[in-house]
Amino acid sequence: MPEEGVPLTPRADLLTTEEILTLARLFVKEGVDKIRLTGGEPLIRPDVVDIVARLHQLEGLRTVGITTNGISLARLLPPLQKAGLSAINISLDTLVPAKFEFIVRRKGFHKVMEGIHKAIELGYSPVKVNCVVMRGLNEEELLDFVALTEGLPLDVRFIEYMPFDGNKWNFKKMVSYKEMLDTIQQHWPELEKLPEEESSTAKAFKIPGFRGRVSFITSMSEHFCGTCNRLRITADGNLKVCLFGNSEVSLRDHLRAGASEEEVLSIIGAAVGRKKRQHAELFLMLQDSPPAILNVLRGSLCAQGLRHRVSSSSQRVTLRKGCRVPQTPLLTQRWLGSGFPQRHFSSHPDSDANPKCLSPEPRAPATPSGPLPTSDQLTHVDTEGRAAMVDVGSKPDTERVAVASAVVFLGPVAFKLVQQNQLKKGDALVVAQLAGIQAAKLTSQLIPLCHHVALSHVQVRLELDSTRHAVVIQASCRARGPTGVEMEALTSAAVAALTLYDMCKAVSRDIVLGEIKLDSKTGGQRGDFHRT
């Protein structure tokens, strides 16, 4: 729970019981065989038992599940079981009561444990326990959680820490599946892998002789997008085809507007047809700039900067179909309206003081801002003309900053698709921005004689230039060390430009990459440089 809490959705915006059941009937009719009520916290909804009972009556629905924080579970589970609840997931990130209170911002650890034991007592097997593992918070409890499975029929599911609004995500807090597995195998080398179920999101393991098992949900390090068959409906009625996607379609609004069953199914099919191929590796690119990841998740881009919609729904319905959902033609109608404002993107959470990411004024030729001594010979060759890396061991560490830019001339067709975010490959600006950040960090692996530089900051900004049907890219890099970061900035801008080409090449091959140049550099013995 964020320290400041979350804003609650007005009750009038939430799906009514009848709306939930209407949508559930539609999905089950189309082949969905599992529905899970999740959240937020679904057990705070007063009609939750009635919803479970009526879902259970739907012909063709095999499983009705729930994901809960467990605090009210012991009290509500008997009537829920009677209503037809068949599967339980309980969120529990620590076995230390004081730490539990810090994480969830309330007391209740013993109530959660009581709920787990009540579920076992009532015959649920396995009872799934979801544990999000965070470095510096609970990774030292891995073995304690695994030990629970020795005497209890639990499926402890370790989940890689993922970025969502409000959780102040940082790459360095993420403990990967491989690292968790290695920690457990050092203590229990006999740990054995279990066969994976079709469309499962978890990798399951078991220690011989233990009643329960452990699983890993590897959303970040080894995504399972290719076999994902989940759809999600938020408590306020928005359909999400991907948990990480920022696009939502309001089914509630169409129901309340009197849409027919066929119209709603058409809308759902079109949304599923736009489901992206994958998501996870994008997040791993930003370990040095966590705020950028949150900005990626926060929604559509507009000329006023990053517009974001916080999902504050207290309950979410997850629907799973027994087989992969079919691909359908792209929806021609855009849910964000018919107007398409100029789009900008920045990896840095800019203030509102400068909503335009890049200055639109034309650039004049370069002029040095001070003494800029240049060498009369190439520095990356030795006396015999062979390639050689410069020895920077004797140079002092100074603060180095460099800014580079590039322009991608898309042409009118590709430009319009990028502007309207209608490329089949996805959001070209977001992908290019992420590629630019990653490229800056990998420069020494791409350019043979570049030194490895520990960058302290990378920022990539993009702006659509409608007069030239172009995207203007600006990349800036900062580090403290004995060598400059010009190559990192130039590589960042160039790779961002190449990525835009790759995203748009199916639409047009008449795309030109140009004006790749160093705009400025500061720090180092050769003085500062500014292209003014």
Q: How many residues does the chain have?
A: 532
pLDDT (tens digit, 9 = 90+) per residue, 75-114? 999 999 999 999 999 999 999 999 999 888 889 999 999 9
Model confidence at 289: pLDDT above 50: no
**230 CB-near residues (< 8 Å, 6+ apart):** 201, 243, 318, 319, 320
Handedness of CA 37, 40, 43, 46 (dihedral sign): negative
pLDDT (tens digit, 9 = 90+) per residue, 411-430? 999 999 999 888 888 888 98
pLDDT (tens digit, 9 = 90+) per residue, 48-67? 999 999 999 999 999 999 99
33 is catalytic: no
pLDDT (tens digit, 9 = 90+) per residue, 175-205? 888 999 999 999 999 999 999 877 677 899 9
- Element spanning 96, H or E: none
**Helix axis angle, 261-273 to 17-29, nearest 10°:** 70
Model confidence at 220: pLDDT above 80: no
Question: Beta-carbon neighbour count of residue 436 at 10 Å?
Answer: 32
Q: Give me 503's structure tokens.
A: 């995203």
Residue 404: predicted pLDDT: 96
Give me the residue label for tokens 């920045």: 346
- Element spanning 502, H or E: helix 486-504
Residue 85: predicted pLDDT: 98
Model confidence at 488: pLDDT above 60: yes
Model confidence at 286: pLDDT above 60: no
Residue 190, amino acid: E
At 332, is the pLDDT very low, low, confident or very high (cuts 50, 70, 90)?
very low
Catalytic pick among 376, 502, 510, 528: 502
At 499, is the pLDDT very low, low, confident or very high (cuts 50, 70, 90)?
very high
Q: Residue 440 in 3-state DSSP?
A: helix
CA distance 306 to 355: 9
Tell me the pLDDT of the chain averaged across its residues.
Answer: 79
pLDDT (tens digit, 9 = 90+) per residue, 437-479? 989 999 988 888 888 888 999 999 999 999 999 999 999 999 9
How far is C-alpha 357 from the chain's CA centre? 23
pTM of the model: 0.55
CA distance 93 to 99: 9
DSSP letter (8 states) at residue 381: B
At 32, is the pLDDT very low, low, confident or very high (cuts 50, 70, 90)?
very high
